[in-house]
Structure 1
Amino acid sequence: MRIVEIRDAVAPIASPIRNAFIDFSKMTISVIAIVTDVIREGEPVIGYGFHSNGRYAQQGILRSRLIPRLLEAEPDTLLNDAGDNLDAHRVWARFMHNEKPGGHGDRAVAAGALDMAVWDVIAKIEGKPLWRLLSERYNDGRYDEQIMVYPGGGYYYPGKEISGLQDEMRGYDAAGYQVAKMKIGGADLETDLARITGALEVLGDGQRLAVDANGKFDLDTALAYARAIEPLNLFWYEEVGDPLDYALQAELAEHYPGAMATGENLFSTQDVCNLIRFGGMRADRDWIQADPALAYGLTEYLNLIEATEALGWPRRRLMPHGGHQLALSIAAGLQIGGTESYPAVFQPYGGFADDIPIVGGYTSLPDSPGIGMEHKPKMLAALREHLELEVG
């Protein structure tokens, strides 16, 4: 088999919302298609990929470095030993060739989007859903039929800060989610406590609500919020300070007994290992949220799981950011803790299969080949439109 073409485009995911640091009114993502010469049901097998929200499109890196390296490679060097499918590790090594260690950031995001498309191709050619392929190759055939998921949301809504938040939480509750997340840090403590109280009026128990500061706080502010929310017994207190400020995270752990979560803005295995070593993270209650679609892809996430387990971190305490089907497949096939969802924002890319419900905070996956893009028709149509692909 051969790669015939790789297309990329910039797609908007603009939303009139903000968190503690940024608004999303001009947010974009990179979308990718890898077209192969493998024909199934009269159509070429195409793998689709994109990266998560919060980082802008990476077209320059993709077009000037990563994609040309694949197209210039000898085709056989990208294949498995049988020569009938791509080998994700060989493909990853090729598009990362001549890149220096360190400097993780936008490059990791570009690689994450491209790597997603590679795995979608591989699973489709294999004729298996990605979660099953991961289970068989890397988890001794074990997998989870039900995956814990929670909606990322609770942004600041202009003109309807509490009413809009409560309406959103009612929607999540009605949709079957058990735990929901909201933003803090974009207002003062008094205002945020009123917002948290409003959300809890809908959800009830504090264990049904997580809060996310998006890295906004210095240590004094982090501790002030910690003292205020500790009696509420919230599900977690997320990304309190700068993602690389491990000293702040470690100090917070000394004062806040509840669960903490962070890691969505750590884009390498090395950074996540340093978080475990120096960030005071507690394996019995805390969560690491590294996102494969932002951190060099699933291929590197396999290394991350191995490295963190070697440091004593259980894979069940991994809960990726991003709200995409790739993380859901990883959660099922590699049996990590669960994953985020975006059913209400960043459409049409947020959320999972349209035809599989959320029940009691858990969902499942389709049994069709690939990541599952075809089970989100609006998203698939948007991908094809932006990539100018005519299929069927």
Structure 2
Amino acid sequence: MAYRKFKATKLFDGYRFRNENEVLITTEEGLIEAIVSTDEAGDDIEHLEGILTPGLINCHCHLELSHLKNVIPPHTGLIEFLCSVVTKRGFEPHIIQQKIEKAEKEMFDNGIVAVGDIGNTADTASIKSKSKIRWQNFVEVLSFTDEKATENFNHYKQIASEMEEALRTSYLLHRTSLVPHAPYSISPKTFELINAATKNQIISIHNQEHPAEDELYKTGGGDYLKLFKIFGMDASPFPVTGKSSIRSVLPHFNNGQTIFLIHNTYMPEEDIVWANEYAAKNNLKLIYCFCINANLYIENKVPPVELFLKHNCQMVLGTDSYSSNWQLSIAKEMQSVLQHTSLTQEQILQMATGKGAVALQWDDALGSFEKGKKPGNVLVKDDFTSSRRII
């Protein structure tokens, strides 16, 4: 059997940096054989400049919004941004497909091997059926009122079925689940329908991206009323609980789910503590996903990542969509975490590889350089400015 041998400036195995004299050995197809010393590796070692790492995991993306690249300007603020997404996303189907295909190729080329991908439609199904990336599809439910809950839920359930059918012939393992969009777009009955349908599944929800989210549940007022007007509502359709949004909606879930909390830009420490305690008592697993460049693009705000590290939260990275980012690059997300937090290179690489694979429950094959796995080999520049696929 033919092997390839790689020695990089730094070798990161998904857990830690290895000794500078170690060499990664794989088959021609990328199956991991071993990590050995340079003396044991023999001849024909390929020398690489940068950090050699397992394939990168993008835990939050909206591939179907790729046609919105450069459509919504930076720093509009979240509420105006959401209004723009709702009102500006209508493009010709062939344009949408072209942009989806280009974005998928970009992610593949820069070393992303698995994606947690949000969609309100099945627009991405055709591209995903031919993709070499693994997809955890989050079919995102929107349903503002209990009156429309069953009708809307069944609509998105049909989309999920279309996605599953399209990916049935793919040679890669994919999954599809129904998920709530955000606390400001899901009624109580809709939450209950999603909870019942997702026992032991991986789901996601956008969480505390803006102070108005908490204000909505605490008082029934705030800036989200501007968004509701687009949908013909003059007042909040949600119950006033007097509590933060996460404390108001997380109790709808008690069915063994793994829940990705996305963004968490304005999540205070007391809510982190509460959420972790609630999850532990109710057989839930929480994953905190950060998309720092999207937060900078929309709000010019960075989430308090160190607080989540302090409370031993499971943290991963995402890119969000081209409607809210300059690129779909996990390397660039790592660069921003390095610039805006006190996390080390090793901690950040863990989020982008091993921990991301564990969170998406694909760590049997991805996320680390261990014998028998085929995680992809990616070369990341030492300053995290770019990445490229080696195998």
Question: After TM superposition, is the score higher than 0.5?
Answer: no
TM class by shorter-chain length? 0.3 to 0.5
- Greater share of residues in strand: 2
Q: TM-score normalised to the size of structure 1? A: 0.42
Higher relative contact order (CA 8 A, sep 6+): 2
